[in-house]
Structure 1
Amino acid sequence: MSTLVAQIKDGMKEAMRAKDKVRLTAIRMLLAQIKQIEVDERREVTDTDVLAALDKMIKQRKDSIEQFEAAGRNELADNEKQEIEALQAYLPQALSESEINNLVESAIAESGAESMRDMGKVMAILKPQMQGRADMSAVSGQVKAKLS
């Protein structure tokens, strides 16, 4: 079992003891997502898999918040925000802007990228390094700007 999964299970126990329903719900959904990966791929998950699942779930909740706020359902949007906070507790320390810039520049140099056609190579290098530590859509925008 990955260390991140163990932390998440411990967090679930804490949420149960504290009777924190929102956090407990978010953690249970995360554990279900992890179990789904294990069943679908017939292997034990790694910390990288867990970080990818966390990123996906946080992105889904951000999309839901936009939709709920557009519909005037602020109570549902607040619930989603609380779930995001609960999920973000399991993400590693976020990268600073300068660290992201340095990683982008080194990935461009490493891949020998010269144009937008090489963006996939650069992103393939960056994704494992930044998984769960940076917003990949923002990083993608930076890579596009540097390659243009």
Structure 2
Amino acid sequence: MMATRFQRSVADYLLDVAAWRKQRYDDPHRDPRNLQSAAGLEALAAFILELPEDEPRLLKLAELASSMDSFAPGQQVTWEIARFRFFHAFSSCDAFLTQLADLAERDSTEHGRFGGRMAEGDDPWEDDEWRYGGGAAGREEG
């Protein structure tokens, strides 16, 4: 089975984060959890490459966290990838992929509101005439 371009992009991203984790181990604290996380990310990259191209969670990630077949994770996906197996050495690659797909969906609905959705009346941009969705098409008439 041959991995898709998107799968290779996800795996490359994971391996880059693993390399960063290994560099973090060289910090003065030499926290072994960085190496634990790096090994986990390498295992996750291998897991991603072995999946069939029609794997629903990969398709969801490709739809919500990609640009031109390249993995382009949002804030929550990026955050969780960087923490994979850092605190819990035995996190499942399969379960984590499910979590990433769910987080990609949440990232896709934030629309630049990086603090998440706000309570009614607390959003300082609530009355802005510009709406996410692009240019004039995103403006409400009125």
TM-score normalised by structure 1 residue count: 0.28
> TM-score normalised to the size of structure 2?
0.29
Greater helix percent: which structure? 1
